[in-house]
Structures are given as structure tokens and as C-alpha cells.
Amino acid sequence: MDIAVIGLPQSGKTTVFNALTAGHSSSTGAGGAGPMQVGVVKVIDPRLAVLDGMYRPKKVVHPEIKYWDLPPIDREAASANQLLSGRQRNLLQAADALLIVVRAFEDDALLHPMGGVDPGRDAKAMLEELALADLEAMERAEARLDNELKKAKPAERPALVPQLETVQKVKAGLEEGIPMKSQTLTPSESAALADFQLLTGKPVVVAFNTGESETTPTLESLGISKDVSGGLGEVGLCAKLEEDLAVMEPDEADEFREAMGLDEPAVERVKSVCYATVGLVSFLTVGEDECRAWPVPAGIEAQMAAGTIHTDFTRGFIRAEVIAYEDLIRCGSLAQGRKEGVLRSEGKTYEVKDGDVINFLVNT
Ligand SMILES: Nc1nc2c(ncn2[C@@H]2O[C@H](COP(=O)(O)OP(=O)(O)O)[C@@H](O)[C@H]2O)c(=O)[nH]1
Ligand SMILES: [Mg+2]
């Protein structure tokens, strides 16, 4: 999963990125926009440690999150109130989710580019920027489809008309401030929009960057309406402090956390909120070669889940042997699970649950 870290200048994006990736980062070119920092973090699934003890596999594979710290906006090329550059918007289309960093820390020594510290204003400004980018994309699409329709032969019209209508519908919604994901769309409308990779259709998490003394605001407490905040995730962290803790030895960092009364490390909390906002669950595979956790969208059916292991597995799907993780641990082996009747055989449309240990039977 690729998560792009965005936000106003000086909101603490790089600090949050460092706190989350703790030195596991490298820079990559970003299409002429300057270097983009990319950090890969393993999402440790504690169930894998237990399965490792049971199966002693050659390897254990944890899922990964890739965080991106975008190259800063080129102030000279950008217009005065531009919050994201055109290049940044293009990069964002490829992300699976967006993490908006909002400054909630007071620091008299650090001027805020928009005046005083106001997390509500900043969160709204960033959300509006995403909607604006989408609105522009829909306007371009509308003009193009209008034009194509004028030139179209009668036989081509039936394919173009619904596309144009969908674009106009979403555009109207965006004009009213409703992000794509809060709009009611039919499956065929959603499919028609897939290629646009609209930013307001992506999962978004707002990360409030607080100081050590401030409490974390909430979207609701900031008066952000449900229309706009629907489906958004939110999390608070003290990025500067977490950045320092992230580079300490784990024992030392734990001692600090305890002494300061901090709960779970920010990297864990941000990960949980991102998983919940994107709507991910993990199924598990076990064996002597490998034990692994596979993040998939909640509600996915077994046949599609098989495709995350190998695309051929979707086509060749026969059935899935499924046992809940807890049942496997209690039984001690798949064979015992089968004896007790908790290892079931499931078909294509079985809805995969978090913690299902699955063996896919496929014909390839
Ligand atoms: N006091 C305070 N300063 C912070 C905090 N987070 C970031 N900063 C400072 O804010 C400035 C901008 O941070 P940076 O991460 O570079 O922001 P970016 O422009 O969004 O990438 C730096 O001087 C940071 O040290 C915080 O939680 N508290
Ligand atoms: Mg930065």
C-alpha cells in the first residue's frame, strides 16, 4: 500500500514521514519534480510470530506500507494560493491513500504560512484542494467527451453518452463540495470513473500534528461537516517527539514512552487508522516455505482474494480451505482442525474474514 504524505508547507510532513519511517527511507526521482523520499515500513502482524513458531517456515512475510514525502511545491512556479502543484497532483493519483498532515502545534518561532495556527482551516483547505483538482479533471473530461460526441458516428454514441453523464454528475457533486467517495454512484458509474483516479475517491486520513502539550482536535470539534468528513480517518501524533523516539533503541524508546505516559507508537496508530480507513483485513497463508499476511479490501470474495497471491489464481480458483486463526492455534494443526470440523471448504463467493488462514486449491 502506497500512502502519500501531503499538507501545507511547514505543517510537519517531513517530520511525520521521518517519525513513521525511522530512517528506512530512500529517495527516488519523481518525474522531474525533484527527489521524492520513499520509506517502506513493515506492518508487523503479531499472528505471524505465533505461526512462525508452529511451522518454522523458511521465511515470514509481513505486509508493507510505503510512505511518500513529496518534493516540496516550487513556490516560484506556483500561484500564490496553490497548495499542491500540478506535478504533485499527478503523483497523488498513483497513491492508494493520502495522509494529510495538519499543523496543530503552537510554536511562536515558526510562522504559519496562512497566519495563525488553525487546524480546522488547514484541514478544510487541503480537502478543498483535492476537490478542486478533481473538478478540473472532470471539466477537462467533460470538454473532451462533448467534443467526441459531436464527431461520433451514431453507433459510437451509446458508449459515450453515459460516460459524459457520469462525469457531469460527479462534477456537479464536487461543485457542491461533496467528495467523490461521498457521492452515490452506481457500479457502472464507478467503473466509468476508475481511469480518472480522482483524489476525492481515495481514502484520506487527517493526521493532526500536535505539540507535546496540545490535545488532539477532531474533525467534528473543528466543525467540518459530515458531507466533507464522511469516510475520513483521523489520528493525532506529536511528530517531532515521535521523530526523536523513532531513531532510539526500542528499549530506550519504550522507557521514554512509559515515562511520558504515551500510548502506542505513532507508527502503529497511523497504520491502524490507515488500514481501517482504506478498509483492509488480512488473510494468512501458512506452510513450510512461507507464512504470510495478505492485506485485502474488507468484504472481498475468496476468488478475488486468491488473485492477490497470483493473478492466475483467480481464473484457476477451485475452492478455498479456510480455518480461523484462533481455531488453528487451538487445534495445533490443519489436520486436527479438519478432524474437529473447523477447517471448512469454501467456494468462490465466500467473504474472506480478517485472520482467516487459507489454502487455495487452484487449477493453473
Ligand atoms: N514545535 C514543533 N515543531 C514542529 C513539530 N513538527 C514539526 N515541527 C517543525 O516544523 C518545521 C517544519 O517541519 P517539516 O516537517 O519540515 O514540514 P514540511 O514542510 O511540512 O515538510 C520544522 O522546523 C520542524 O522541526 C511539532 O510537533 N512541534
Ligand atoms: Mg518537507
27 and 139: one domain? no
Q: How far does the centroid of ligand 2 lie from the alpha carbon of residue 73, in Å?
A: 10
Query: For residue 50, is it within any domain?
Result: no
Mark whether 262 and 315 lie in a shared domain: no
Residue 344 lies in a domain: yes
- Count of domains for the chain: 3
Instruction: Tell me the CA–centroid distance for residue 33 and ligand 1, in Å.
Output: 22
Q: How far apart are CA 71 and CA 88, in angstroms?
A: 8
User: What pLDDT does 45 receive?
Assistant: 92
Task: Report the atom number in ligand 1 closest to the C-alpha of 241.
Answer: 27
Do 309 and 179 reside in the same domain of the chain?
no
Residues 264 and 318 reside in one and the same domain: no
Q: Which atom of ligand 1 is nearest to the CA of 69?
A: 21
Chain-wide mean pLDDT for the chain? Answer: 91
Q: What is the pLDDT of residue 32?
A: 53
Here the CATH number for the domain that contains residue 161 is: 1.10.150.300
Is residue 145 domain-shared with residue 259, that is, in the same domain?
no
Q: pLDDT tens-digit profile of 129-171?
A: 999 999 999 999 999 999 999 999 999 999 999 999 999 999 9
> Of 249, 278, 307, which closes a domain?
278
CA–CA separation, 100 vs 204, rounded Å? 7
Strand ordering across the sheet containing 233-237: 25-29, 35-42, 64-69, 2-7, 97-103, 204-209, 233-237
> Which pLDDT score is estimated for 225?
82
Q: Which CATH number does the domain housing residue 94 bear?
A: 3.40.50.300
Cell matching residue 358: 487459507
Per-residue pLDDT of 116-130, as tens digits, reads: 999 999 999 999 999
> Is pLDDT at 36 greater than 90 in this prediction?
no
- Position in ligand 1 atom list of the atom nearest CA 7: 20
CATH of the domain at 338: 3.10.20.30
Over 70: is that where the pLDDT of 29 sits?
no
Question: Structural domain of residue 107, as residue ranges?
Answer: 2-45+61-115+202-278
Neighbours of 261 (CB within 10 A): 6
Are 71 and 207 contained in the same domain? yes
Using DSSP's 3-state secondary structure scheme, residue 68 falls into strand
Instruction: Work out the average pLDDT over 317-343.
Output: 97
pLDDT at 262 over 90: no
R_g over Cα of the chain: 23
Residue 341 banded pLDDT, cuts 50, 70, 90:
very high
Residue ID of nearest Cα to ligand 1 atom 5: 240
Asked which of 153, 181, 200 is the last residue of a domain, the reply is: 200
